[in-house]
Amino acid sequence: SQQGEEDPQALSIQEGENATMNCSYKTSINNLQWYRQNSGRGLVHLILIRSNEREKHSGRLRVTLDTSKKSSSLLITASRAADTASYFCATRPLTGGGNKLTFGTGTQLKVEL
């Protein structure tokens, strides 16, 4: 079953604007990861944030984590047409499960020229 729920399901913005996607989850986590999927391709890992971290940056990506609210957000700044893809959050459980991840439902981002 899907642990993560992304919001919004779909997002359309103009190139140069910022895109924010949110993820909510249900159980305690070890870490939360964001992945990107281009149409017809496999998922690509973007960034990982651990449960004791609140914010992390990587290039134009900024991820926040609020474990009290069981939520995370992914911000893509100065978006480009090439950022058009689906974005998924994935959670690793705090206990048990090894490196097993549970993926959310995804946000489809469209960046228009």
Partner 1 sequence: DARVTQTPRHKVTEMGQEVTMRCQPILGHNTVFWYRQTMMQGLELLAYFRNRAPLDDSGMPKDRFSAEMPDATLATLKIQPSEPRDSAVYFCASGLGPGTSGAEQFFGPGTRLTVL
Binding site for partner 1 (CB under 8 A): 2, 30-31, 33, 35, 41-45, 48, 50, 88, 92, 97-106
Least distance (Å) from partner 1 to the CB of residue 14?
27
Least distance (Å) from partner 1 to the CB of residue 45?
5
Specify the residue, 32 or 79, whose C-beta has the smaller distance to partner 1.
Answer: 32
**Rounded Cα gap, residues 14 and 29, in angstroms:** 34
Cβ neighbors of 45 (< 8 A, separation 6 or more) are 33, 34, 35
> Is the Cβ–Cβ distance between 50 and 66 less than 8 Å?
no
Specify the residue, 95 or 113, whose C-beta has the smaller distance to partner 1.
Answer: 95
